[in-house]
Amino acid sequence: MQFAGSHILSISQFERADVEQLFTVADAMRPYAHRERITRVLNGAILGSMFFEPSTRTRISFGSAFNLLGGEVRETTGFEHSAIAKGESLYDTARVLSGYSDIIVMRHPDDGSVSEFAAASRVPVINGGDGANEHPSQALLDLYTIRSELAGRQRALDGLRIAMVGDLRFGRTVHSLSKLLSLFQGLRISLVSPEALSMPEAVVETLREAGHEVLETDVLETGIADVDIVYSTRIQEERFASPEEADLYRGRFRLNQSVYTANCEPNTVIMHPLPRDSREGARELDIDLNDNPNLAIFRQSDNGVLVRMALFVLILDVADQVDQHSVPVNWYTERRF
Amino acid sequence: MQFAGSHILSISQFERADVEQLFTVADAMRPYAHRERITRVLNGAILGSMFFEPSTRTRISFGSAFNLLGGEVRETTGFEHSAIAKGESLYDTARVLSGYSDIIVMRHPDDGSVSEFAAASRVPVINGGDGANEHPSQALLDLYTIRSELAGRQRALDGLRIAMVGDLRFGRTVHSLSKLLSLFQGLRISLVSPEALSMPEAVVETLREAGHEVLETDVLETGIADVDIVYSTRIQEERFASPEEADLYRGRFRLNQSVYTANCEPNTVIMHPLPRDSREGARELDIDLNDNPNLAIFRQSDNGVLVRMALFVLILDVADQVDQHSVPVNWYTERRF
Amino acid sequence: MQFAGSHILSISQFERADVEQLFTVADAMRPYAHRERITRVLNGAILGSMFFEPSTRTRISFGSAFNLLGGEVRETTGFEHSAIAKGESLYDTARVLSGYSDIIVMRHPDDGSVSEFAAASRVPVINGGDGANEHPSQALLDLYTIRSELAGRQRALDGLRIAMVGDLRFGRTVHSLSKLLSLFQGLRISLVSPEALSMPEAVVETLREAGHEVLETDVLETGIADVDIVYSTRIQEERFASPEEADLYRGRFRLNQSVYTANCEPNTVIMHPLPRDSREGARELDIDLNDNPNLAIFRQSDNGVLVRMALFVLILDVADQVDQHSVPVNWYTERRF
């Protein structure tokens, strides 16, 4: 893929070399995200942050990433888009809004809407989530996190053993992540879900065609043994025939410290796309895991900033200028834990 | 008019020389809006963007214009203004908010509210639309667009032939544009509307007193023949006695490529204040015009940024400093079509 | 208190020396807030402005203060926080959002929520108001205003004579201000309220233990005689047993120019936390006071910017770098009145 000037609409655009290039640039963003230095490489650039559906963390993550590069953010948060209500087409919206910024990130409730918008946009567009369809930066930050966590264990993505747990049928993130995993070699993938929420056959096929070993189970303990990563997702009550059936599965898929200790390898990494449901009765990842150093869910959301910075500098073609526009940070930057 | 430090509340403030000065400055903003150079002339300045009624495109257009000059934007988008709900007067709101910024753009649903606010503000206020009353930057960008499109045809504003089409009775934009057109000489103006939605007599009088030729008709084909510009506006169903009457007029006022080819001169420019209604059954400007190079509606919205930049630099008195605070752009700036 | 890296959650964190340090820094912010110079000391820093409850003026005041120091603002305005609706804990929200900025200001409808959030945040958090609990920057700007107004009269905070008027029972601002006043010496404090809305006994005790003279009354005229400052607050109808009782008190606690002239010393300062209710029938501070030079309510809101700038530079430990990152302002800065 040629990043410069491209739209980022789907994880299917990415070859293995693209992912590796992106992750190398994301690594180079660490000193800026960790506030050792600041860079002003995008001083004067404007991000159009067009969220026609609310998503605070995705929106702020993209916006902060752009600010960390020195750019400005103009924003809409979806509750006010009167023009669409007045019958404006996505074509018109795109032609108009793309006159106001250098690059756009867009979230929209309708499948395919971001691609339709991008086709009419005069500036590059990043898909920040379009309904049940795609959310490519989430899949990329998930894979980047797996790579980072494994690197600390002297392991690489090839040969990865991963369990995906929960609602694998409707969960957009596990579908996209699976597509990315198909770019690598020799993986062993446990799919742990109630049968009613199992991974779509097409996704399983893609993984098998890539040469990966795939195990499907509805027993949590079986699925999470002998893996490097447990990727947990929410089980939503409304997906089941009855509350009783939902209760049954919730209880059986809850990962807490004692289940972890009894079944996982000592340094198995725990991930989750967030938000996790911490209400009594939900808790697919129990809060008693909060002190477990292998709980990587907040490193994962931090990595979102790095990956989004990398997307911006590659699309706007300034990756090799980031350092030369940088200076040390002059304010208090000590972080708690 | 003395721009420095002034409020911009109404199109009536503008003499011909003011309009010409503004447009000369707007022309000088092109390299910045087109991303050939960036300027930081307003580095450190703050725009208070106070939208007590939603209007995404006007809000983002003003905000981007200010960012393009190097300034910051603090914003409110109307859904949260609890203070007004608690009985705060516009006087108090203005005194407080004008302590937070260097210049304010304000939109408000009530006629006259922006003037009332401006009277109490300690910093310059630009009217971003107050109910059915005024929206001066829209009229200015419309006129600037007419001037720009004509310039490509070696024509000037004096002697312009223009048709205004649609709801001329309730359309704020055509009233304001008519006032501006009265500043120029020797125009021929076709007013094309259903009789129930015809241009208010006072506006027609103003145009005639300025020495312009005014033709009123409810036949689209007659009105759009022999003109340089067709300025189309929405016809809203709720304005009519019955849906049947609305249907009748909608059908008769729809401009599409075949009506254009049959009736317009070969390079008649098509304008519209946007948003246009692209739903089946509406389409005052059909989407089959999208490939017509004379469709100027997106150049028109782009021009909004130039005109708003010009207003900011004139009001804040930095027009002659813009270039000296500029540097080339260092990121990818190729635009699609 | 050590400001650098600290959370600002409660007025109870402040000793007299802390208040004095803060106010000295706030004084030094005047040339920047008054647009004589700009500083870019926080160029590259990001404020997370997390308003899970609307409060336009507090939000814009904090945001403008950060912009005046050269930093960027990423914002959420509460109507869209879907993650919390999905059962996310404040712990998770804090861990995630604190990865996106250098400092956070947070407002939230629930008492104690900001402290809970701060405990999990990796960056400093300023409480922008948590329900009926605390809003420390408001109390600090109130005290700073008293100090500034007294300074013009060659008076200091020790020995201050102040009347607090209105709903003293539920008013968060008067409770916090009272705590701060307890740090000073030899005050005389009139508490003027309907008996049903009188100051909580614990607050009165604190004031008396600090050695201050406290007078409680429900007669406005008695309370506001012989004071340096009248601090007025809203009386809310819903606090009373019946509308008739509310009407009775509203009439008796309304301060207007004739009550002021008849009862106050000639240069008694009038303050109010704002917004004041200017509707007919409310008007705890009548609009006929607007031309009274001792009406300090807008100087008070302006001072909010100074105090918030001071909090930012102290917490981020750049107080002694502000001036060295400064240049003169190059745009039109004349202010009306």
Q: What is the pLDDT of residues A41-68, one digit of tens each?
A: 999 999 999 999 889 999 999 999 999 9
Interface check A213 vs B, CB under 8 A:
no
Pairing of strands B326-328, B37-39: antiparallel
Neighbouring residues of B205: CB distance < 8 A, sequence distance ≥ 6: none
> Contacts of residue A54 in chain C, CB cutoff 8 Å?
79-82
Residue ranges of C 270-329 with Cβ closer than 8 A to chain A: 315-318, 321
Active site residue C57: yes
Q: Which of C64, C274, C337 sits opposite B100 (nearest CB)?
A: C64
Contact between A69 and A41 (Cβ < 8 Å): yes
Quickly count: other Cβ atoms within 10 Å of residue A91's Cβ: 16
Exposed, middle or buried by CB within 10 Å (0-12, 13-18, 19+), for A257? Answer: middle
Q: Give the burial string for C50-61 (b: 16+ CB within 10 Å, else e).
A: bbbbbbbbbbbb
- B58 vs B238: CA distance, rounded Å: 24
Q: Does the distance separating the beta carbons of B332 and A316 come in below 8 Å?
A: yes
Confidence of residue C337 (pLDDT cuts 50, 70, 90): very low
**Mutate: best of A49, A50, A74, partner B, most B CBs <10 A:** A74
Fold of B11-134+303-328: Rossmann fold (3.40.50)
| pLDDT single digits (tens) B65-80 | 999 999 999 999 875 5
Quickly count: other Cβ atoms within 10 Å of residue C5's Cβ: 16
- A224 vs A265: CA distance, rounded Å: 9
Say how many Å lie between the first and final Cα of chain B, rounded: 38
User: How confident is the model at residue A337, as a pLDDT?
Assistant: 47
Contact between C39 and C32 (Cβ < 8 Å): yes
pTM: 0.96
| pLDDT single digits (tens) A279-306 | 877 788 999 999 999 999 999 999 999 9
Say how many Å lie between the first and final Cα of chain C, rounded: 38
| pLDDT single digits (tens) B94-132 | 999 999 999 999 999 999 999 999 999 999 999 999 998
Neighbouring residues of A202: CB distance < 8 A, sequence distance ≥ 6: none
- Tell me which of B41 and C249 has the higher pLDDT: B41
At residue A96, the 3 state secondary structure works out as helix
Q: Which of B48, B81, B100 sits opposite C305 (nearest CB)?
A: B100
Four-residue CA torsion sign, A112, A115, A119, A122: positive
Active site residue C37: no
Contact between A285 and C91 (Cβ < 8 Å): no
Q: Does the distance separating the beta carbons of A335 and C86 come in below 8 Å?
A: no
Q: Does the distance separating the beta carbons of A54 and C48 come in below 8 Å?
A: no
- B233 vs B253: CA distance, rounded Å: 10
Task: Write the DSSP symbol of residue A199.
Answer: P
- ipTM field: 0.95
Q: How far is A153 from chain C (nearest CA, A)?
A: 24
- The packing angle between helices B113-120 and B90-97, to 10°, is 50
Q: How far is B160 from chain A (nearest CA, A)?
A: 26
Using CA atoms in the order C163, C165, C169, C173, what is the torsion angle rounded to 10 degrees? -70
- A215 vs A198: CA distance, rounded Å: 12
Residue ranges of C 39-68 with Cβ closer than 8 A to chain A: 41-46, 48
Q: Which of B76, B92, B102 sits opposite C275 (nearest CB)?
A: B92
| CATH architecture for the domain at A11-135+303-328 | 3-Layer(aba) Sandwich (3.40)
- A169 vs A240: CA distance, rounded Å: 12
Distance of CA A229 to the CA centre of its chain: 15
pLDDT of residue B237 exceeding 80: no
**Position C88, amino acid:** E
> Contacts of residue B301 in chain A, CB cutoff 8 Å?
95-96, 99
Exposed, middle or buried by CB within 10 Å (0-12, 13-18, 19+), for C244? Answer: exposed
The torsion angles phi and psi of C270, rounded to 5 degrees, stand at -110, 125
User: How confident is the model at residue C124, as a pLDDT?
Assistant: 98
Contact between C54 and C78 (Cβ < 8 Å): yes
> Contacts of residue B121 in chain C, CB cutoff 8 Å?
336
Q: Which of A55, A60, A79 sits opposite C74 (nearest CB)?
A: A60
Mean pLDDT computed over every residue of chain B? 94
User: How confident is the model at residue B337, as a pLDDT?
Assistant: 47
A133-151 average pLDDT score: 97
**Position C296, amino acid:** A
Domains of chain A by residue range: 11-135+303-328, 137-298
Fold of C137-298: Rossmann fold (3.40.50)
- B147 vs B162: CA distance, rounded Å: 12
* Catalytic sites of B, residue numbers: 57-58, 86, 107, 135
